[in-house]
Structure 1
Amino acid sequence: MNIFGSMYDKTMAWSTHRFAAFWLSFVSFIEAIFFPIPPDVMLIPMSMSKPKSAVKLALYTAIASVLGGMVGYAIGYFATDWVQGIVQQWGYGEHWATAISWFEQWGGLVVFVAGFSPIPYKVFTICAGVMQMAFLPFVVTAFISRAARFLLVAKLAAWGGEKFAAKLRQSIEIIGWAVVVLAVVAYFILK
C-alpha cells in the first residue's frame, strides 16, 4: 500500500502552490486555537522545496501562531467557565489540572516551553487566558518561543533541501507505517 508516498507527493506539490504561504499562516493561526495538526507539516516541505524562503516562511508561521495564541488567550480569559465545562465534558479534566498546576508553579516559562515544544500549544494559550497571565509577557514569550521553534524547523528542512526530500520520499512508507504502529501502541499503553 502506497498511502504515505502519495500523501507525501501531494504535500510537496502543494508546498509550491502560489497560495501556500497563506495556507501555512492560516493553519498556524488556527492551530494555536483549536486545530489538531501543527503547521510543521506544511513548513517542512515548503522549506525543503524553497530553501531561500525558509526564514520568511518561519516568520510567517510564528507571527500567525502568536496571533492565534492571542485569540486562544482571549477565549480563556473571557470564557473561563465555558472552557472548563468543555474540558470536563471531553474528559480532559486531568490534563487541564496538570496545565493549571504548571502555570501556578512556573508561570510564563510554561508558555515558552509549550511554544517551542510539540506539546499542543492551544492548551497553553487558552490556559494562559484562564490563569489571567499578564498579556504583554504572554505575547513576547510566545513570539520568542514560536519563532525559535519554527526557525529551527525551517532552517533544518532548508539545509536538507531537495536532496533530503528525495531521500525522505524513498523511506516515507516505512516511516509512515512506523508512526502508525507507535501511535497504536502508545494508545493502548496510555489507555
Structure 2
Amino acid sequence: MLRKLYDWTLSLAARKSAEWWLAVIAFVESSVFLVPADVLYLPMALAKPERAYRYAIVATIASVLGGIAGWFLGHYAYETIARPVLEFYGKYDEFEALRISSGTGFILLMLVTSGLTHLPPIKVVTILAGVISFPLGWFILSAIIARGARFLFLAWLLRTYGEPIRHFIEKRLGLLAGAAAAVLILLYILVRYVF
C-alpha cells in the first residue's frame, strides 16, 4: 500500500497542477500524510530547474502551514482525534513516553531535525508540540528555518548539479542528514546533561 501511495504521489509531478499538488502534499505531510513532499518536489525541480527555488518556497510555506495545523490538532484535538489514531496504530504508549519526557528544548531540537531530515517524522513533532503547548511563535519560526533550509538546499543542489545529484539525494542525502541530526542530538544531550 505504501508503495502505491508513493507511486501515486510521484505521478503528480507530471500534471499541470503539480505545483498545487506539491502544496497539498507538503501541507498534509506535516500533520498526517505518510509520504514526504520530496517525492513530488524532486521530479518537479528536475523537470523545470528554473522553478526549483519557486517550488522550494511553495513547499516550505505549505509545510509550515501544515505544521501549524498539526500543532492545533495536538493542542485542541488530541483526545478526540490524535489519541484514537495513535491507539489504533499501537503507538499511544510510545507517544505518551515521548510527551512526558519532552521539554521545550527537546521539542525545538526535534523540530529542527525532523524539518531537515524527517527524523522523527515531522507530523509526530508537530502534534507533540501542540500537545505540550510548545510556544506557537517559536514553533513557526523553527519550522520556517528547518523546512526552508531543507527545500532551498535541495533546490540549490538540483540547480547546481542537475539530474546526476538526484540519485545521490534519493540514496544518500537522508543518511547524511540523519548523521547531522544525530550530531545535533548528541550535542543537545551533552549540553543539557553533562555541562
Q: Which TM-score bucket, shorter chain as reference?
A: 0.7 to 0.9
Q: How does 1:103-142 map to 2 (within 5 A)?
A: 103-104=102-103, 106-119=106-119, 120-142=121-143
Q: How far off its partner does 1:110 sit?
A: 1.8
CA distance in 2, matches of 1:102, 1:43: 34
Q: How does 1:55-66 map to 2 (within 5 A)?
A: 55-66=53-64
Q: Quick one: structure 1 residues 99 and 150, their matched pair in 2 at CA, closer, same or farther if it must change by over 3 Å?
A: farther
Partner of residue 17 from structure 1, selected from 15, 18, 23: 15
For residues 61-81 of structure 1, the C-alpha deviation after alignment (integer angstroms, 9 at most, x for no partner) is 010000011111001000222
SS at match of 1:107: helix
CA distance in 1, matches of 2:164, 2:36: 24
Moved more, 108-117 or 81-90: 81-90
Letter in 2 for 1:115: G
Q: How far off its partner does 1:42 sit?
A: 0.6
Determine if the alignment matches structure 1 residue 84 to structure 2 residue 113.
no
Partner of residue 52 from structure 1, selected from 43, 50, 53: 50
Which sections of structure 2, spanning at least 5 residues, go unmatched? Answer: 172-195
The TM-score, its normalising length taken from structure 2, stands at 0.72
In angstroms, what is the RMSD of aligned CA positions?
2.7
For residues 103-150 of structure 1, the C-alpha deviation after alignment (integer angstroms, 9 at most, x for no partner) is 326232221111111231111111100010001000000110000011
Q: Which has the higher contact order (CA 8 A, sep 6+)?
A: 1
Which sections of structure 1, spanning at least 5 residues, go unmatched? Answer: 176-191
Contact 2:30 2:67 in 1 (8 A): yes
Work out the percentage of aligned pairs sharing the same amino acid. Answer: 30
Q: How far off its partner does 1:15 sit?
A: 2.8
Q: Quick one: structure 1 residues 85 and 158, their matched pair in 2 at CA, closer, same or farther if it must change by over 3 Å?
A: same
Q: How far off its partner does 1:33 sit?
A: 1.4
Determine if the alignment matches structure 1 residue 72 to structure 2 residue 86.
no
Bigger radius of gyration:
1
Letter in 1 for 2:133: Q
The TM-score, its normalising length taken from structure 1, stands at 0.73
For residues 43-98 of structure 1, the C-alpha deviation after alignment (integer angstroms, 9 at most, x for no partner) is 11111111111111011001000001111100100022232343233201343135
- How many residue pairs match? The answer is 161
CA distance in 1, matches of 2:136, 2:148: 18
Q: Quick one: structure 1 residues 125 and 94, their matched pair in 2 at CA, closer, same or farther if it must change by over 3 Å?
A: same
